[in-house]
Structure 1
Amino acid sequence: MSLTSNDTIIVRAGEELNKVNLAKYIQENIAEAPTGLLEIEQFSAGHSNLTYLLRIGSWEAVLRRPPIGPVAANAHNMEREYKILSSLHPIYPTAPKPFIFCQDPSIIGSLFFIMERRTGIVFDTKIPDGIVYNKEVGQKISELMVDKLVQLHSIDYTKTDLIHLAKPEGFMERQVLGWIKRYEHSKTEEVPGINVLMKWLTENIPISLEPTIIHYDYKLNNAMFSADFNKMIGLFDWEMTTVGDPLADLGAAMSYWIEADDSDLLKSALGTPPITIMEGFFTREQFIEKYATKSGRDVSNIHYYETFAYFKLAVICQQIYSRFVKGQTQDQRFGHFNQFVCKLIKYARNTAKGL
């Protein structure tokens, strides 16, 4: 969720909020909000939950709500994300401060929560206008990404409310079997090598490290930086956060961390590659080594977690392709996602050892 000053748009048709109801709710429930005219814009980024910029005079906040229409059970849980932020913000202030969770769907048509608005620099697939890039900038950003992941994994989850939100025991077993089941439910054709890969994933689940809080969607475009790149001032999209194996978090992060020497598949399979391909950014190996040094954790099994992360990406592509095959989406971009599935499975097998 990129919360820079220039990535908002006029609210998309069909995704409007009830401004009268919302303005009244804010005035009655958020002490920090001044009186005045409520203005609403929408953040253009993201394909999951809907995110809006709220403005009353100079006061700004961010509203998060589920997407329009039916959603999968247990998905887009606004109350869960609100509780995660409420628990983490005081001890991990990079997570934004939540103001309030609304349980009354009559206000805007769904449950929602409102949190503070932060402004800074968010990187994705290109350098933002006005930013002069050099390799030192890439190194500083890479270092901060490592440091903030290590810091998150150092928090004692037993002293937070997250102890009530997750069951870390058997985390990787549930993850592996759950994603295999997702693939089987969305299967449309035979994918070369996938059965061998799923067997390998099932039979080689490593002994998990001591469980920690994991963000589980830790990637560059979910982070916000100060103008001098000396601080990460925001980390967003906490909806997948749970308690589990910290190397699963690291592996997932590395599946999105593309480097210059990667194949064209990894650089472009999921869209335009992120700026991590530019000179100065850590390679995945350097990122992992820095994480190991700073966290003190044994990363000798990281190849397993990276393999699993690529398998997850393949399953996500398969789910999208299955929807296309079934006519549940008409978007022609998805008509060749089966090719991405095959290539990602091949890449995952290359990442695994012993296949």
Structure 2
Amino acid sequence: MVDDTIPVRSGEELNLRTLEDFLRKNVMDLPNEPLELQQFSTGYSNLTYQLKMGEWEAVLRRPPLGPVAPKAHDMKREHHILSSINPYFQAAPEPILFSDDDSIVGSPFFLMERKHGVVIDSKFPEGVEPTSERCRQLSYVMVNQLADLHSIPYEKTGLAEISKPEGFIERQVHGWISRYERAKTDEIKEVGPLIDYLQKNIPQYSQTSIIHYDYKINNAMFNQNLSEMVGLFDWEMSTVGDPLADLGVALSYWTESSDPELIKFGLGQASVTTLDGFLTRQEFIEAYAVRSGRNVSNIDFYLTFGYFKLAVILQQIYYRYKKGQTNDLRFSKLGTTVKSLITHAAHVAAKEA
């Protein structure tokens, strides 16, 4: 098993005594052992920590430091989402509690179960050979879990009460354009034609399902032989909406070996999905259509929007870095990544226009 935690990064420490006192008052049957804290190393957004007391384990999630975009990083909402989805989708971690008491860790936060397994990002774990067969198997696990999530009857979950599926994709397109304009730092010539394409090609009909909306291979956890997904994380953007928007977002993360270098390496090392054996995006689309039975004929619009949405998320992070609201040096090159994503999205749009 790969160790997926690191010592807590400088500036992101929590007050152990305050947190332990809170846990002992609010969590049943904790062992009489001191609280140990580690941090999960991946992710550019929310801060996520591993808590341990003897054999007891949990995961704590809180928003990033500094000002955040309106309505983003809503811990109460993510806790509600997990509470609603976990009974129907076991890869979603079971939530433990939510707290809006800022005095504990400096912001609202929630606790959820600690899952164990294999997390894959830019390479396979040591000792696991990335054979073509294994890569293909892993591809189908990703496709099938996404389609199965979309098959859950959302009306039976608690998500129906916090969702507005009617007009979802239109609101999303206009909403992410507004987010980009608020977080803009540099002039990118391709953004004008791209926004024009998105506004003029909003689908008139959209389907409805539960969507994860940040579905990518390094947000998933697998069992040791990679035949099953045992965990799926980062549910903060999940809602009830158009499943093809979810598929488009997943495809925007699903890089191929033939993609431009800045797309493959924009966030560091290339994803394992560029290795031989992984489904191409087109094969992913076709496998999803078979598993879900959904019409995917207009998926190119959703893929274009997926690239734009990813660019805006990174632009918001880059904006915080440029304004001195965070000093994490990992964010210093995101402006180049944003430009490459917008340029790539514009090229995809131009082929369809």
Please give the TM-score of this superposition, normalised by the length of structure 2: 0.92
Task: From the superposition, tell whether residues 156 and 305 of structure 1 become closer, same or farther in structure 2 (CA, over 3 Å).
Answer: same
Q: CA RMSD in A?
A: 2.2
Any idea what SS the aligned residue of 1:161 has? coil
Aligned twin of 2:168: 171
Specify which of 265, 268, 284 is matched with residue 268 of structure 1. 265
Any idea what SS the aligned residue of 1:224 has? strand
Task: From the superposition, tell whether residues 338 and 34 of structure 1 become closer, same or farther in structure 2 (CA, over 3 Å).
Answer: closer
Distance in 1, Cα, partners of 2:26 & 2:303:
44
Distance in 2, Cα, partners of 1:97 & 1:335:
35
Task: From the superposition, tell whether residues 191 and 70 of structure 1 become closer, same or farther in structure 2 (CA, over 3 Å).
Answer: closer
Aligned twin of 1:306: 303
Aligned twin of 1:158: 155
Deviations for 1:259-297, whole angstroms, at most 9, x for unmatched residues?
A: 112222321223221001111111111111000011000
Q: Is residue 81 of structure 1 aligned with residue 49 of structure 2? A: no
Any idea what SS the aligned residue of 2:61 has? strand
Distance in 2, Cα, partners of 1:67 & 1:101:
17
Distance in 2, Cα, partners of 1:8 & 1:239:
21
Aligned twin of 2:138: 141
**Aligned partners of 1:9 and 1:44 also within 8 Å:** yes
Distance in 1, Cα, partners of 2:17 & 2:315:
42
Task: From the superposition, tell whether residues 99 and 336 of structure 1 become closer, same or farther in structure 2 (CA, over 3 Å).
Answer: closer
My pick for the range that moved more, 14-23 or 285-294, is 14-23
Deviations for 1:93-128, whole angstroms, at most 9, x for unmatched residues?
A: 110111111232223332211111111001001122
Trace 1:217-296 onto structure 2 (pairs within 5 A).
217-296=214-293
Aligned twin of 1:30: 27
Report the Cα offset of residue 325 of structure 1. 5.9
My pick for the range that moved more, 243-252 or 132-141, is 132-141
Report the Cα offset of residue 247 of structure 1. 0.3
Any idea what SS the aligned residue of 1:101 has? strand
Task: From the superposition, tell whether residues 269 and 24 of structure 1 become closer, same or farther in structure 2 (CA, over 3 Å).
Answer: closer
Aligned twin of 1:351: 348
Distance in 1, Cα, partners of 2:43 & 2:321:
20
Distance in 1, Cα, partners of 2:69 & 2:103:
21
Code of the residue aligned with 1:6 in structure 2: it is D
**Aligned partners of 1:210 and 1:245 also within 8 Å:** yes
Distance in 2, Cα, partners of 1:347 & 1:159:
39
Task: From the superposition, tell whether residues 346 and 113 of structure 1 become closer, same or farther in structure 2 (CA, over 3 Å).
Answer: closer
Task: From the superposition, tell whether residues 18 and 339 of structure 1 become closer, same or farther in structure 2 (CA, over 3 Å).
Answer: closer
Report the Cα offset of residue 143 of structure 1. 0.7
Distance in 2, Cα, partners of 1:40 & 1:70:
24
Distance in 1, Cα, partners of 2:137 & 2:203:
32
**Aligned partners of 2:220 and 2:233 also within 8 Å:** yes
Identity among equivalent positions (%) equals 54
Distance in 1, Cα, partners of 2:111 & 2:339:
41
My pick for the range that moved more, 309-318 or 199-208, is 309-318
My pick for the range that moved more, 32-41 or 267-276, is 32-41
My pick for the range that moved more, 334-343 or 106-115, is 334-343
**Aligned partners of 1:41 and 1:52 also within 8 Å:** yes
Distance in 2, Cα, partners of 1:97 & 1:339:
37
Q: Unaligned 5+ residue runs, structure 1? A: none
Any idea what SS the aligned residue of 2:80 has? helix
Distance in 1, Cα, partners of 2:336 & 2:218:
25
Distance in 2, Cα, partners of 1:294 & 1:338:
37
Specify which of 54, 59, 62 is matched with residue 57 of structure 1. 54
Task: From the superposition, tell whether residues 64 and 5 of structure 1 become closer, same or farther in structure 2 (CA, over 3 Å).
Answer: farther
Aligned twin of 2:199: 202
Specify which of 10, 15, 31 is matched with residue 13 of structure 1. 10
Distance in 1, Cα, partners of 2:185 & 2:71:
25
Aligned twin of 1:121: 118
Distance in 2, Cα, partners of 1:105 & 1:188:
31
Task: From the superposition, tell whether residues 71 and 192 of structure 1 become closer, same or farther in structure 2 (CA, over 3 Å).
Answer: closer
Any idea what SS the aligned residue of 2:231 has? strand
Report the Cα offset of residue 185 of structure 1. 2.7
Report the Cα offset of residue 323 of structure 1. 5.3
My pick for the range that moved more, 45-54 or 5-14, is 5-14
Aligned twin of 2:68: 71
Q: Unaligned 5+ residue runs, structure 2? A: none
Number of corresponding residues = 352
Distance in 2, Cα, partners of 1:48 & 1:14:
15
